Amino acid sequence: MNIVGISINHRTAPIELREALHLSDVEITELISGLKEDLLAGGFVLSTCNRTELFGVQKDGKAEFYKLFKYLTNFKEIKQLSSQNFEKYFSCSAVKHIFKVASGIDSLLIGDSQILGQIKESFLLAEDLQFTNSVLKRLFDTAVKVGRRSIKETRIGEGAVTVSFAAVQVVEKIFANPREKSALVIGTGETGKLAATHLTDLGVGKLTLANRTRSKAEILAQNLQAEVIDFTEIIDHLHEFDIIFSATSSEKFIIDKDAVKSAMKKRKGNPVCMMDIALPRDINPAVKELDNVFYNDIDSLGVIVDQNIKKRKAEIPLVNKIIMEEMVGFYSWYNTLNVVPTIKAVREFFETMGNDELEKIKHKVSREDYIKIEDMTRRLLGRLLHNPTMNLREVAESGLNSDEVALRSMMIKELFNLNGNVNSSQNKDDKNL
């Protein structure tokens, strides 16, 4: 199958270059329009924070790797990228790569739960733009199936592999019913935003945000239906929260032991979970000496993350097994696309020959004898064609060896001159006889 693809990702380029090549849906739509015109008969474009990939079926052999690379970089007007920043895939390797991405094992964070949804969206966009065909649709469906099987049949997506999510999972273990708890997130940068989102997904009863620039906290609060307090009022309100996450860029502690000690008196001993996910730290680690204060920082949370990453890596062989099973299934289906026309042509060839011979004796024997001869001819043709047909199907359905299928199909066509004129071949046979 002449599918070709290129990928820039976390292995091939730093984040600055990956960001520069990131494509919005509007840009992908425009890019696909040009690709349809010049290089590809169909395909898809995937662009996330860690990768931008372009895969498609070649149009008349035009879509060489370098042409795809130049087309993409020229579209974004980026000159600092070279072809060395891209991985190149063709045919079987392209299919395998797409399946690996869908399963999450090719992600920067192994088992990334978001990538399957992003792939679905890229496939749907390609379909909406009529940039697909029957083979690509089957490929898309199989890729989604790989992703779903990986999630359902392995533990590739289990356990937190980010500090923010690890912190939320610790909270979940401390508080049996987070819906009855209130949480404060200090700092609304990328880490704080992620933590706030995870807490919302956890279902905390009340979420409050604080940031040095209040307007930034207010924007995030609108999206998460949270409340906002001024950064300068954090200490005054500390006792109101059961869960406290801090993720600022402060060079010194913003919460010290005395402030937490005072807050705990007001809380009358009710426990508080404090997650310091900032570097440098925001909360004085001495607070863990206080009763009913559950404190974690990046180092302690990092241990959890490392353990979960190891567990996910251990699942990769199981995911690879799923990928190979689905590749065999996909190519078994794909190979039959080449086999079916050959089988049909062989049968038509022999049936035409049989009908010609039957026609020659039709008026030379009795009606009763003709029916017997016709029946015998049909059964004889069926027995002659059974083994070649079954063998060809078995090769096609055996898996990935599409070259072998193509070779056998070609040999059969050449042997019986199926690419030529059946009648002329028959006439030659008559003359030779």
- pLDDT band at residue 407, thresholds of 50, 70 and 90? confident
Q: Angle CA(319)–CA(323)–CA(328) in degrees, nearest 5?
A: 150
- Measure the CA–CA gap between 122 and 132, rounded to whole angstroms: 12
Q: What pLDDT is recorded for position 424? A: 44
- pLDDT band at residue 400, thresholds of 50, 70 and 90? low
For the segment(s) 163-311, the CATH number from 1.10.357.10, 3.40.50.720, 3.30.310.80, 3.40.50.410 is: 3.40.50.720
Q: Which residues are part of the catalytic machinery?
A: 49
**Collapsed DSSP state (helix, strand, coil) of residue 262:** helix
The class that CATH gives domain 3-157 is: alpha beta
Q: What pLDDT is recorded for position 393? A: 72
- Measure the CA–CA gap between 103 and 323, rounded to whole angstroms: 8
Which residue ranges make up each domain of the chain? 3-157, 163-311, 324-432
Lowest mean pLDDT among 110-124, 224-238, 391-405: 391-405
Q: What pLDDT is recorded for position 398? A: 63
Q: Angle CA(313)–CA(398)–CA(343) in degrees, nearest 5?
A: 150
Mean pLDDT for the chain overall = 89
β partners of residue 5: 55, 89
**Collapsed DSSP state (helix, strand, coil) of residue 151:** helix
Q: Is the dihedral of CA 315, 316, 318, 322 positive or negative?
A: positive
Question: What is the value of pTM for the model shown?
Answer: 0.71
